Structure 1
Amino acid sequence: MRLLLCLLALLLSGFASPARAQAEEAQRQVLVMLQLPKAHYRPDGSYAGTYGEGVGRQSRQHVAQSLAQAHRLEMRSEWAMPLAGVDCFVMRLPEGDTRSSAKVAEAVAEDKRVAWAQPVSLYRAQGSQQEPLYRAQPAARQWQLAELHQLATGKGVRVAVVDSGVEANHPDLVGQIALNENFVDAKLVPAEGHGTAVAGIIAARADNGAGIAGIAPQARLLALRACWQAAKTDGTQTLCTSLGLAKALYAAIQQGAHIINMSLGGPDDRLLALLLDQAQARGATVVAAMPGENGPFPANHPGVLVVGLAQPLPAGAVIAPGRDVPSTAVGGGWSLVSGSSFAA
């Protein structure tokens, strides 16, 4: 019996290790921002094409390599962000290096060639309890969906779901997803519980005679996977990194999202704050779950619409159902979900 339990524990740890490894890898990373030239000026004399071409890009790459060498960091990748006005270089603490990424970022930021530097932070979904239900009929009476849909159905609205993977072929989500991208890794987008549930609450089909009806069934979803599902002792949790979130936010802006849903929480982040400002400047409404123990951001960012499931709420926040909410579940079924993530 003991041998069986040991084998089972080993098997489970093997399944959990990729998710843990992702979190550990993220916490060893440092983002180094170098300023991009203004749109009307290029140091290499090129006024056509995109940012990051020619001599200007080579110069930034040379600076980044110099910084990595000086601070004993490994270069990982480069990501030019014209909308943010910076070129982001992802660097990493070598294996066995006991320095904290935050302290290293502070040291790198002291270099005058650097716009700023920051560690990669972890974020978590704000509540992701799921209870097996049944193949539910539309049941959210407290939302008065029938009356709501007489006024608005979300037609013509693009909603970015910045979350874990969405099951695009779920019966209630088929045809609802305009874009399905993965910013966690280079693999196909997996079906994950939290993202699938949030997507269903927003835009589950109302014309298929099965399951539930979303708040905005004629909206189209931009399913932007910036988070992943990780095992823990009492179930699963949904984790995200600030780098993955930044890439998803950038994609949401580029795709012209009218609404950006971020049902997660974590520490304040300069890059994410800048991208939220850019999104709002372009007319997007950013909706965030009521902050919990995971951290105050993005709910504390100016202009963000904060949604909670119960009083008390901070000034400007709104309340919405968030307990035992029927929604789409991985595997083509439905479930009850609870948490401020699902109120938002």
Structure 2
Amino acid sequence: MTGSRTFRRLALGLALGLAALSATAADADAPQAVAAPASAASAPREVLVMLRSPPPHARVDGSYGAAGYGDAARAQSQARVGARLAAAHGLTVVTLWAMPALGMDCVVLALPPGADVGASIAALQAHSEVAWAQPMNEFHAQGHADPLYPLQPVAAQWHLDDLHAIATGRHVRVAIIDSGVDDTHPDLAQAVQARANFVDDRAWVAELHGTAVAGLVAARADNGIGIVGIAPEAQLYALRACWEVSASQTLCNSLSLAKALSFAIDRKADVINMSLSGPVDLLLGRLIDVALAHRQQVVAAVDAHAAGGGFPAAHPGVIAVVDAQSDTRPAGLANAWAAPARDLPTTVPGGGWRMVSGTSFGAGEVSGLLAVMDQALAESDNPGAAPALRLVRLPGGGIDACASLLHAAQSSSSRATLAPGCSAVLAAAGGGATGRSP
């Protein structure tokens, strides 16, 4: 593998040229999160109402219908509750969706013009059937024999050849909760094992942000084109919970993200990537807690301009990813990890590649590394006794990818497999462990 990559570096490294791959600053940099609405005109016009769900609760599987239900009678009962609440407060039912991971159901109600969001939420929460109500929050995406491999910062910084001598993310499930992924892209051939569209009233479409993140996680190796993903044999769940409104703006909301998280939890995704940021959201926080309790890794992009790094990056237990080259890092972010996040070549819709920048894409790299570590953990000498995955920290907050993988592998044979790059790094660091994630 390494020899063929070296040849490609010499023969094809400049073949495509940066001109064909570069993007303008507005296109390449992921957009930043916006502040919560400050005026009635810009305030959310929908609320999410979480209904207590009597057991037994339906499962999120193939038996679910459009709203996630397998029990038609129970769905009708909850629909009647939603309609009654709407009528009592002059609201309109938009949709109803099961949230089995929480044992609840979510009804979306639209507010009439001029209605006060806070007052409506308070009135709804007075009903015994309601666990809680909240605004519909808005989120923004954060910005091998493969000819572009030499241009990938992680190729050298994370010693990708060495890592792939041990593990490539085989059989590890990574959920990409993002905009639409181009699953027909040749560098993502057979990478997407499942896809689902949770954006209401918008048909599935391949979009830039989701496709770029997917390529950084799992672009196929040694296929003679493009790049190499951090986990080139990982299995992707392409979960469209966001939609592009322009070349530089990708939006999501509470409900679409909650649907995607529920899917990822039920389908037992090993790693859940959320390259987005927005306001603190109770529903999403509860679902993230369920995922973490199931030992699913959740990775999120940090918004350096938001208090505490933004949500979900600041949520306890989430692996928060910052730009390794940035001097601006939110204070008090306990589980922050630095990854390359500038001028990263990756996949784009239509079978092409381009450079992107932003913590969204650094988060994708970390998700890929966790997938590689997950395979190594599963194939270690004693997987039943192995601890949870732990990243190993370098001074300054970066990730020691070599030591992280070996910690997961817990195998003398894995250490013997390492090529000189990782071995030299570990020897210089005295084993590499300078700190671990909490």
Partner of 1:179: 194
Question: Contact 1:31–1:119 at 8 Å: present in 2 too?
Answer: yes
Residue 259 of structure 1 pairs with residue 271 of structure 2: yes
Query: What does residue 81 of structure 1 align with?
Result: 99
Aligned to 2:177: 162
- Alignment of 1:112 with 2:124, yes or no, is no
Alpha-carbon spacing, 1:102–1:201, altered in 2? closer, same or farther (3 Å): farther
CA contact (8 A) 1:125 1:238 kept: yes
Call closer, same or farther: CA 1:308–1:38 in 2, change over 3 Å. same
Report the counterpart of residue 325 of structure 1 in structure 2.
344
Verify the 8 A CA contact 2:318 2:335 in the aligned structure 1: no
CA contact (8 A) 1:138 1:213 kept: no
Query: Residue 53 of structure 1: CA displacement?
Result: 4.9
The CA deviation at 1:282 is: 1.6
User: Counting helix residues as a fraction of each chain, which structure ranks higher?
Assistant: 2
Is residue 218–residue 231 contact of structure 2 (8 Å, CA) maintained in 1? yes
How far apart, in 2, do the equivalents of 1:191 and 1:62 lie? Answer: 36
Q: Tell whether 2:40 aligns with 1:28.
A: no
How many pairs align?
Answer: 300
* Distance in 1 of aligned mates of 2:252 and 2:240: 9
State the TM-score, normalized to the length of structure 2. 0.64
Contact conserved, 2:100 with 2:262, CA < 8 A, in 1?
no
Task: Select the residue among 304, 309, 312 that pairs with 2:318.
Answer: 304
Amino acid at match of 2:44: Q
Q: Deviations over 1:149-189 (max 9, x none)?
A: 11221011000000011111111111100011111135542
Q: What root-mean-square deviation, in Å, do the aligned CA atoms of Structure 1 and Structure 2 show?
A: 2.3
Query: Residues of 1 paired with 2:120 and 2:150: CA distance?
Result: 52
Tell me, in whole angstroms, the C-alpha distance in 2 between the residues paired with 1:254 and 1:147: 33
1:270 to 282, 294, 300: 282
Change (3 A) 1:102 1:125: farther
Provide the secondary structure at the position in 2 that maps to 1:61. helix
The residue type paired with residue 345 of structure 2 is P
Code of the aligned partner of 1:30? V
Q: Check whether the contact 2:317–2:335 (CA below 8 A) recurs between aligned residues.
A: no
Describe the SS at the equivalent of 1:279: helix
Q: Which amino acid aligns with 2:299?
A: V
CA shift digits 1:196-245 (9 cap, x unpaired): 100000000003111000000000100000001112xxx52111011100
SS at match of 1:88: strand
Aligned to 2:204: 189
Partner of 1:123: 139
Partners in 2 of 1:277 and 1:150 — Cα distance? Answer: 34
Change (3 A) 1:175 1:58: closer
Mark the CA change 1:73 to 1:52 in structure 2 (over 3 Å): closer, same or farther: farther
Distance across 1 between alignment mates of 2:335 and 2:109: 39
* Gaps in structure 2 of 5+ consecutive residues: 1-40, 58-68, 364-438
In 1, the alpha carbon distance for the partners of 2:183 and 2:201 equals: 18
Q: Which residue of 2 aligns with 1:220?
A: 235
User: Larger strand proportion, structure 1 or 2?
Assistant: 1
8 Å contact from structure 2 (residues 99, 259) kept in 1:
no
Would the aligned equivalents of 2:48 and 2:134 in 1 still touch at CA under 8 Å?
yes
2:163 to 141, 145, 148: 148
The structural deviation recorded for 1:338 is 0.5
* Aligned-partner Cα distance in 1 for 2:86–2:317: 36
Q: Percent identity?
A: 51
Query: For residue 72 of structure 1, what is the aligned residue in structure 2?
Result: 90
Q: Distance in 2 between matches of 1:188 and 1:293?
A: 32
Partners of 2:262 and 2:46 in 1: CA distance:
20
Alignment of 1:32-71 (within 5 A): 32-39=49-56, 53-54=72-73, 57-71=75-89
Moved beyond 6 Å, runs of 4+: none
Alignment partner of 2:356 out of 328, 337, 344:
337
Q: Which amino acid aligns with 1:109?
A: Q
Q: Following the alignment from structure 2 to structure 1, what is the Cα–Cα distance between the partners of residues 137 and 131?
A: 19
Query: TM-score, structure 1 length as denominator?
Result: 0.81
Gaps of 5+ in 1: 1-23, 41-49, 128-134
